Structure 1
Amino acid sequence: MVVVHVLLLTAALAIVALYGYTMFSYFLRFACHLYFRRITVHGVNNLPREGPVVVCPNHPNMMIDVLLVLTQCTHMGRNPYAWAKASMFKNPVAGRILRALGAVPVYRPPGKLANQDVDSEKTPEEIAAATRHMFEDTWKVLHLGHLVVLFPEGTSYTLPHMLELRTGVMRVATGFVKAYDTPITVVPLGLTYFNKDRFRSEVSLEFGEPIIVDQAVIHSDAFSTDERSEVKRLTEQLQVDKIYLTLNAHNFESFRVARTIRRLYCAKPLHPKDDVHFTQQLVDLVEGKLTTKETETVYDHHSPMTIIPR
């Protein structure tokens, strides 16, 4: 799987170098539709077609996540920018290409995640200075009316649930409003892979309800009194919205049981969006978070069959 990611990235960088961003976007779209048998997109009206926007996907599948999101945003008429870990800029060729695409290097200090990439060559002071420049460069891109893709979990993962979100997205959003006195739209995006390790599988993308960060937020008593706490509150709101758009369980066994129930009792295939939300309802039932009656109500919306024996 890692080899596929590396090959896709190498081919993408070569095409950018030879033909520029237009051909790059076509290549991304072709590669994604070659790799996946079916890509479904929902909630497209939640993504503004102009103005400063931050799109916040979950990050369960490394470079594949990046390719999918960039492809879809470009297809919807936006020219997406993104943060990229600083180590990717160490290669002179890759660094020039990434900068040409508007990528901003991220230097990550040590944190809670054991598998994160940390730039050990820089001192904490140098990382802090680089981070300030990173935020300023990001605000400039947003001020030009562009879209920026940020993965708020800070790293890719192989877990049955999302990681706790870092505050970077909302720090970018509130800092932008403070710097330019302009509102910004934060759009949560849920990526769901139905079998991410399998070639020609399916994936679903769902854009959620946008969160507007504007002058009213910045000038509120809560923000003026304790900016850090308010940024944390906004991040928690984003986390709740993203959980609704994704599949989350305590362990993989809950997923296996839920999917077995779905296969055994579903009278007809569900639309991918309904499949995601219905499977989450089953996971919640398996883990004791949902009553049987609530699950029956959800299922009866899709099929005349009864999923749980009365």
Structure 2
Amino acid sequence: MHLLVRWLLAPLARFIYRPVVHGAEFVPREGPVILASNHRAAVDTAVIALTAGRPVSFLGKAEYFVGKGLRGRALASFLSALGYVPVDRANAKAGLAALHAAREVLDAGGAFAIYPEGTRSLDGRLHRGHTGVASLALATGAPVVPVGLIGTERVQPVGKRLPRLHRVVVRFGQPLDFSRYEGLEGSSAIRRAATDEVMDAIARLSHQEYVDTYHERPAA
């Protein structure tokens, strides 16, 4: 399945959608790195995976990986090939489990993508980021590459299940280094400051209006 995604599906998707990519050189080709992006549509994960230039891991709901039968196994294999890491979000300690899974990826020298807003923006604006991105950066020393996605909301508008043809622009920004805060990851003020710096960089790349309030998760 990994070979199918890498050598067939990924090139086919790039050929069909022809994403415009800026700043690809800012994504290090090896070593731990956090890709922090705005979130406009369900296809954002695939767009980042196709344009980052290296394998990228994402968090995925654990229930997607435990389906029974041929269909369930195929879905689990496909998601694993895309870089999804299963996390039980129904657990009371889901936040800690997510950070632990992400840290394992980074400690192994991998690339991990995160949406600091926590959910898709339904109003088109960029909302206040949760501090998990800062916690990861401060705990691992990994640089944070901000990402601005433009046009993905037109590929898959809210409420639509099938993607449409529309040009997507991906902007990778210069890596943000938070090593100056080494040893201060326990400070909520430091985590907030680092997260705000990440969100400011994303806003400049995505050209979205920034709103200093958390975006509520849509009803299940």
Alpha-carbon offset, residue 148 of structure 1: 0.8
Q: Which position in structure 2 is the counterpart of 1:70?
A: 49
Q: Does 2:191 match 1:237?
A: no
Bigger Rg over Cα: 1
| 243 and 102 in structure 1: CA distance in 2 versus 1, 3 angstrom threshold | closer
- Match 2:169 to one of 184, 198, 204: 204
Equivalent in the alignment of 1:83: 59
One-letter amino acid of the structure 2 residue matched with residue 30 of structure 1: L
Letter in 2 for 1:68: V
CA distance in 1 between partners of 2:125 and 2:81 (Å):
34
Aligned mates of 2:123, 2:107 — CA distance in 1 = 36
Q: Which residue of 1 aligns with 2:207?
A: 247
Question: Residues 108-139 of structure 1, C-alpha deviation per residue, up to 9 Å, x if partnerless?
Answer: 4xxxxxxxxxx3xx4xxxx21x5434323322
Shift of 1:90: 4.2
Cα distance in 1, alignment partners of residues 82 and 149 from structure 2: 23
Q: Among 145, 160, 164, which residue is 1:187 paired with? A: 145
Larger RCO, structures 1/2 (Cα 8 Å, 6+ apart): 2
Shift of residue 101, structure 1, vs aligned partner: 5.7
2:32 aligned with 1:52: yes
Q: Is the Cα contact below 8 Å between 2:178 and 2:194 reproduced in 1?
A: no
TM-score of the two chains, using structure 2 as the length reference: 0.78
Contact 1:106–1:131 (8 Å) recurs in 2: no
1:142-190 deviations in Å (ceiling 9; x for gaps): 12211111111111233221122111111112222xxxxxx31110000
Q: Does 1:43 align with 2:43?
A: no
Q: How many residues align?
A: 197
CA contact (8 A) 2:124 2:208 kept: yes
Whether the 8 Å CA contact 2:5–2:81 is kept in 1: the answer is: no
Q: Residue 127 of structure 2: SS of its match in structure 1?
A: coil
- Counterparts of 1:141 and 1:249, CA distance in 2: 32
* Structure 1 gap segments, 5+ residues each: 1-15, 109-118, 177-182, 251-310
**RMSD over aligned Cα, in angstroms?**
2.5
Q: Which residue of 1 aligns with 2:216?
A: none
Match status 1:23 vs 2:43: no
Q: Deviations over 1:245-299 (max 9, x none)?
A: 113248xxxxxxxxxxxxxxxxxxxxxxxxxxxxxxxxxxxxxxxxxxxxxxxxx
Gap regions ≥5 residues in structure 2: 158-162, 211-220
Distance 1:204 1:192 in 2: 5
> Is the contact made by 2:203 and 2:209 (CA closer than 8 Å) also made in structure 1?
no
Offset, 1:56: 1.2
Sequence identity percentage: 25
1:1-310 matched pairs, under 5 angstroms? 16=1, 21-26=2-7, 27-34=9-16, 36=17, 38-62=18-42, 64-73=43-52, 76=53, 78-92=54-68, 93=73, 94-95=75-76, 97-99=78-80, 103-108=84-89, 119=90, 122=91, 127-128=92-93, 130-176=94-140, 183-193=141-151, 195-196=154-155, 197=157, 199-214=164-179, 216-219=180-183, 223=184, 227-249=187-209
Q: What stretches of structure 1 move > 6 A for 4+ residues in a row?
A: none
Checking the alignment, whether the CA contact within 8 Å between 1:57 and 1:190 is kept in structure 2 is yes
For the 8 Å contact 1:107–1:131, the answer to whether it is kept is no
